[in-house]
C-alpha cells in the first residue's frame, strides 16, 4: 500500500487543491514531497518528469499529479516505466484502478476558473476519490498477470 507520495502540479492549478491534498495525507499519516518549480517551468511534461525522478530517488510509493485538465499529466505519467496512472472522475474508477491495475499514480483536473472550459474537480470529491484510491489494495490473482503484461509492453517485449 501507499506510504509516501510525490505531488506535482502545473501553473494552472489552484493551490487550494494542493493544500487540501497535503492536509488529507497528513491526517492519514502518509508522507509526501511536493515538486516546487519556483516558477521556473510551466511545462507539465517537465514537471511530471521531475516528479518521476523524485519518485525513484525517494522510493515513494505513489504520485499525485494535477494540471488544468489532468489529461496532459496523465499522458506523460503513463510514459514512465512502472507507472500506471489514472485520471478518475469518480470513486468507482479509482477503486478499479487500484484493485485491478495496481495503479500507483492518480491525476486530477484542477484548473483555475478562468479556463474557457472548466473541467476541474470539486475539492471534496477529489478527496473522496483519493481516499478510495489510497485505501484500495491490489487484488492480485488474474489481475497480476495483466499488470505483468503491461510491464512487458513497456519493455517492448512480446505478450
- Average pLDDT for 29-38: 88
pLDDT tens per residue, range 41-68: 678 999 999 999 999 999 999 999 999 8
**Average pLDDT of the residues of the chain:** 93
pLDDT band at 21 (very low <50, low <70, confident <90, very high): very high
pLDDT of 144 strictly over 90: yes
pLDDT of residue 22: 98
SS3 call for 104: coil
pLDDT of residue 119: 77
Instruction: Tell me the CATH number at 96.
Output: 3.40.1400.10
pLDDT of residue 63: 98
Residues near 158 by Cβ (< 8 Å), separated by ≥ 6? 152
pLDDT tens per residue, range 84-133: 999 999 999 999 999 999 999 999 999 776 666 677 889 999 999 999 99
Within a domain: residue 58? yes
Within a domain: residue 107? yes
Residue 140 region, left (φ>0) first, then alpha (ψ -120 to 50), else beta? left
Give the lowest-confidence range in 13-27, 32-46, 50-64, 128-142.
32-46
pLDDT band at 14 (very low <50, low <70, confident <90, very high): confident
Domain residues for the domain of 21 are 4-154
What are the catalytic residues? 67
pLDDT of residue 38: 63
pLDDT of residue 3: 98
Total tally of structural domains belonging to the chain: 1
Within a domain: residue 159? no
Within a domain: residue 117? yes
pTM: predicted TM-score of the whole model, two decimal places: 0.94
Distance separating alpha carbons of residues 125 and 112, to the nearest angstrom: 17
Amino acid at each position: 500500500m501507499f506510504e509516501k507520495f510525490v505531488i506535482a502540479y502545473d501553473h494552472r492549478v489552484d493551490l487550494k487543491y494542493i493544500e487540501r491534498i497535503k492536509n488529507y495525507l497528513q491526517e492519514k499519516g502518509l508522507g509526501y514531497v511536493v515538486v516546487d518549480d519556483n516558477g521556473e517551468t510551466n511545462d507539465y511534461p517537465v514537471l511530471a518528469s521531475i516528479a518521476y525522478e523524485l519518485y525513484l530517488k525517494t522510493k515513494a510509493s505513489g504520485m499525485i499529479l494535477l494540471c488544468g485538465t489532468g489529461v496532459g499529466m496523465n499522458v506523460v505519467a503513463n510514459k514512465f516505466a512502472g507507472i500506471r496512472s489514472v485520471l478518475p472522475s469518480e470513486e468507482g474508477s479509482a477503486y478499479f484502478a487500484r484493485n485491478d491495475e495496481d495503479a500507483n499514480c492518480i491525476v486530477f483536473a484542477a484548473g483555475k476558473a478562468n479556463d474557457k472550459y472548466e473541467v476541474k474537480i470539486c475539492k471534496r470529491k477529489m478527496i473522496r476519490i483519493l481516499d478510495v484510491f489510497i485505501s484500495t489494495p491490489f487484488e492480485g490473482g488474474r489481475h497480476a498477470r495483466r499488470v505483468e503484461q503491461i510491464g512487458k509492453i513497456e519493455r517492448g517485449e512480446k505478450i
